[in-house]
Structure 1
Amino acid sequence: MPASVLARYLDAATLGRLVQTRLDPRSLVMGHLAGSHRSPVQGFAVEFAGYREYMPGDDLRHLDWRMVFNRGKYFIKQYEMETNWTSHFVFDTSASMQYGEGWEQKAQVALQMLTLLAYAVIRQADRASLTMAGARIDSYLPPSDSMAQLVRMLELLDSLSYSTATNLPACLIEMASRWQQRELVVILSDFFLEIKEIEAAIERLRYSRHEVVLVEVLHQDERTFDFQGAVRFKGLEGLAAYRTVPTEIRDAYLDAMRAHQQALTEMCHRHQVEYLPLTTNQDLAGELIAYLNRRQRTRRR
């Protein structure tokens, strides 16, 4: 079972494309173990960071004697400690994520992207956790850096049941009180939510200095509304069925969709949140590689 679940979402060709990718923090991180990311904690190991003036009680082994001889002043060498970091993946289990068929179902695409991201994190010896959020927190898998964690995440997602109601913002606020500070939070959803509600949750996460990435997954039908003839639309989250001729409401629908996405984009800019929009018919590995490359370029500036 574990091998079959993993093989369903990670094949050799995809792994080969991801071999050079990394998901690194954009800023200093707090971790629990030695790792490959810079920590805000000043220590005496790994990488030279600068000097500070000597104070009584400092370890004389870290005194820079060249500074003493050349300038007659006492300075201690400081180093940046390197640490691991944790990526928290939050998966929206609301029923609207079920839209689409087969591998182009929104939930399946979100699951594939989560798998690729979690693999990148765990491969570099960082930790990943999983929160499944619908009307409430359905399941939570604590952080781990073992490859078995990825299998556990997929097995949990493979057995999920969808909620006809959604309260993703409240779930995020609750989880923010459990997580440490300065970690990464990746939220995978269609974000069919009131912007003010998701913004309140983002503000809480940013208050704890988390980096936040919104991975928006929409079906191509939702982006184009390219339906023909009379269509009966069925509400997935408690709304009544509605029969109409899509060409009569297409312009109004697309205007509303553009306004919602513009508001979501502006909210992300306000709070320095990364926004990754995906459509279910895209090459996910290619989109991920392009995103990680953009992130690395931004990080180096």
Structure 2
Amino acid sequence: MAIKELSLAAKTTIDGFMSGINKSTIKGSGLEFIQYRSYQPGDDLRSLDWKMFARSDRYYIRESEVETNISIRILVDASASMNHSDGDFKKIDYARYLAASLAYLGNLQGDAIGLYVFKDGGIFSMSPKQDYQHLARMFYQLEQIKPEGDFTKPIHYKELYAGSQKRELLIFVTDLYQKNNEIFDLLDTLNTLKHEVVVFHLMAKNELELNFKGYHSFEDLETGETLQVDQSAARKAYVMALNEHLEKMRISLLDRNIYYRMLSTDQPLDQALRDFLNQRNKSKI
């Protein structure tokens, strides 16, 4: 039942307004004409436009736009900090629905979808495939995620090099909680693969506003350390420091040519995806 609910939630989120939005395009011998260009040595002679040659006595290549399917690998942070909750809703719940929706969308478009879960002690991996049975298995694995422990150590990153030689889209869903820059080290590793990398940074509303009603003692979910906080006295300085930190991370990722988007877990998922995909489309123009 849980898998059916996750599948239905993903379908409901995606259907109706995202059809066709993540198709990549290349110039080639497709059906929709774009432009002519001068013939260059080595060009496929089958692409020559002989009618243009008859009119101009010059050789031209007819270029068209064709749709291409892409390979998408969805990476999910399953370290203990993803258990952070705002009410009854945890970050990992939002990550589950976000990953499921993106997987459903990719499958709908005919793209190959893979799943990589960064769990304590290693990486669970499902290589990209394009079929509904694979998607159903992915939904099952998303439901099984139980965040615990620290972030995956670099020794396990070899799983990430098992992709194809073609450029891929890597989507990383994480709260960017790190102790020793380990997540940015991972992102630097991903950058060496020469793929497009997108980071969805999940934050709960209560941590964005420092509004934990009734709480004065806070525990680090990964280290177990506790801290006493007077929220009302610390809120203004906390919010200012947090905003500076988020901006620093955003700029740092942009400097790496990594797309960054912070999502609050109280934000409707369909709106978050619509905003992301619209912005991504604009950046491709």
Matched length: 283
* Cα distance in 1, alignment partners of residues 206 and 215 from structure 2: 15
2:69: which partner in 1? 84
Extract unaligned runs of 5+ from structure 2. none
1:38: which partner in 2? 25
* Cα distance in 1, alignment partners of residues 280 and 43 from structure 2: 42
Verify: 1:247 aligned to 2:262, yes or no. Answer: no
1:7 is aligned, of 5, 8, 15, to: 5
Equivalent AA in structure 2 for residue 18 of structure 1: D
* Cα distance in 1, alignment partners of residues 263 and 43 from structure 2: 55
Equivalent AA in structure 1 for residue 15 of structure 2: L
Verify: 1:106 aligned to 2:91, yes or no. Answer: yes
Extract unaligned runs of 5+ from structure 1. 26-35
Equivalent AA in structure 2 for residue 38 of structure 1: T
Indicate the percent of aligned positions where both proteins have the same amino acid: 24
> Displaced runs of 4+ in structure 1, greater than 6 A?
none
Verify: 1:21 aligned to 2:18, yes or no. Answer: yes
1:179 is aligned, of 146, 163, 171, to: 163
Verify: 1:293 aligned to 2:275, yes or no. Answer: no
Q: Can you list the C-alpha shifts for 1:79-137, whole angstroms capped at 9, x where unaligned?
A: 55542101110000100101116752110011111111111111111111100013443
Whether the 8 Å contact between 1:87 and 1:184 is mirrored in structure 2 is: yes
- RMSD of the alignment, in Å? 3.2
* Cα distance in 2, alignment partners of residues 229 and 58 from structure 1: 71
Summarize the alignment of residues 1-301 of structure 1 with structure 2, pairs less than 5 Å apart.
1=1, 4-8=2-6, 10-11=8-9, 15=12, 18-22=15-19, 24=21, 37-39=24-26, 44-48=29-33, 50-53=36-39, 55=41, 59=45, 61-77=46-62, 79=64, 82-100=67-85, 104-167=89-152, 170=154, 174-180=158-164, 181-193=166-178, 197-228=182-213, 231-299=216-284, 301=285
Whether the 8 Å contact between 2:115 and 2:125 is mirrored in structure 1 is: yes
* Cα distance in 2, alignment partners of residues 291 and 16 from structure 1: 14
* Cα distance in 1, alignment partners of residues 264 and 84 from structure 2: 12
* Cα distance in 1, alignment partners of residues 21 and 71 from structure 2: 10
* Cα distance in 2, alignment partners of residues 125 and 103 from structure 1: 35
Q: 1:239 to 1:23 in 2, by over 3 A?
A: farther
* Cα distance in 2, alignment partners of residues 69 and 97 from structure 1: 66
| Post-superposition offset of 1:153 | 1.4
Equivalent AA in structure 2 for residue 53 of structure 1: Y
**2:150 match: secondary structure:** coil
* Cα distance in 2, alignment partners of residues 290 and 265 from structure 1: 17
Q: 1:195 to 1:184 in 2, by over 3 A?
A: farther
Q: 1:205 to 1:9 in 2, by over 3 A?
A: same
| Post-superposition offset of 1:165 | 1.0
- With structure 2 as the length reference, what TM-score do the two structures score? 0.83
Q: 1:194 to 1:73 in 2, by over 3 A?
A: farther
1:30: which partner in 2? none
| Post-superposition offset of 1:286 | 1.9
| Post-superposition offset of 1:262 | 1.3
Q: 1:74 to 1:62 in 2, by over 3 A?
A: same
